Every structure is written in structure tokens, then in C-alpha cells.
Amino acid sequence: VVRSISPLLLTTLKKKLLLLLPSILSCLHHQHVAVRLAASKCITTMAITNTTNVMEVVMERALPMLRDSTSVYARQGAGMLISLLVQGLGVELVPYAPLLVVPLLGCMSDSDQAVRQSVTSSFAALVPLLPLARGLPLPTGLNESLSKNADVQFLEQLLDSSHIDDYKLSTKLKVTLR
């Protein structure tokens, strides 16, 4: 039902639809894959019509599920959600790409094959978007800890070596460097 009505709602009603998002997100760690898939598709449809608000919740609640070592279902659901978001939103994810790539990179060595497969395909689709994200401000609405993410600085230094910060050694070297 959410997937059917979400694109047709007025802006004022879309805000009320966002109240369902925490309940839908809780379905991402359900033991049945069909429930996780339905929840991922609902969230993706909501994100297509209300990208900023939905992605804020996804960044705060779904990304940490990728690191949940206690529940393979949570990792599978979060990986499935990110994969569907990448497919559904495409270029709309450019501002979020730097925030998504490093957590996905960390999950590419997950012990579960389904997690590895979904995360790897998402990572491969997001990497070409990274050059487009350079210089863009981070999306508004993200909480302070996400917007000051060190992962964004890491990716900037990785993609452009002219932005590499100087590293200060804690001890003084008494040698001449070549």
C-alpha cells in the first residue's frame, strides 16, 4: 500500500507517511527475506518522492545495521535496502555517495554471501558517483555527527592527492630524508 500511494500523496501527507518509517525499518531485520525485500522496496519508493527526509533516517538507522555482528538478517536487510536505493535513486544519491561508500567498503568482507553480494553491487554503482560529489556540500538535514564524518575527508584524500593532510610524527627524526 505504501509503495502505491507514496508517489501520489501531497507534501503535507508525505510528512505523515514518514511516521511509518521507523516501523518499516524494523522489518529490515526480519528473518524472512520477503519481509525484508518488501520493507526495502517501501523505503525506496518513499525515498524517491521524499529523498532528504528518508535518507536522513536511513543514514542514522539503516547504516548502523550493516555493522550489526549479532544479526545476519539486519546486515542482509540493510544491504538489500542500500542496493535498492542505489538502483532506485541513481544520480539523486550523489550528495550521499561519500557517506555510503566507506560503510559499504567495510561490509565487502562480510561472512554472509548475500550481504557481500548486495554491498558489492551497491559499492560498484556508487564509486562512479564520487567525482560528481566532490565539492558538493553535504545534504542538509543530517545530524552533526554524520555531516562531520571523517569518511568524507578520507575519500576526498583518496580521490585527490592534492588534498592529503600533512602527518606530524610524534617523535623527532634525526635523519635527512631523501
Selected from 2.60.40, 1.10.357, 1.25.10, 1.10.10, the CATH number assigned to the domain covering 2-161 reads 1.25.10
61: exposed, middle or buried (Cβ count in 10 Å: 0-12, 13-18, 19+) = middle
- Alpha carbon 133 to chain centroid, angstroms: 14
Spatial contact of 89 and 50, defined as CB atoms under 8 Å apart: no
pLDDT attached to residue 141: 67
Q: Where are the beta strands (DSSP E) in the chain?
A: none
Dihedral sign (CA 64, 155, 125, 7) = positive
- The model scores a pTM over 0.85: no
Does residue 107 or residue 136 have the better pLDDT? 107
The full set of domain ranges for the chain reads 2-161
How far apart, in whole angstroms, are the C-alpha atoms of residue 68 and residue 143? 21
* Residues above pLDDT 90, as percent of the chain: 40
Contact present, 60 and 143 (Cβ < 8 Å): yes
User: Rounded to whole angstroms, how far apart are CA atoms 44 and 23?
Assistant: 14
Residue 152 has φ and ψ, to the nearest 5°, of -65, -40
Question: pLDDT grade, residue 80 (50/70/90)?
Answer: very high
Gap between the Cα atoms of 115 and 110, Å rounded: 7
pLDDT digits (tens, 9 = 90+) for 54-76: 999 999 899 999 999 999 999 99
Would you give the distance in Å from CA 82 to the centre of its chain? Answer: 6
Count of C-beta atoms within a 10 Å radius of residue 18: 15
In this predicted structure, what is the pLDDT of residue 138?
A: 72
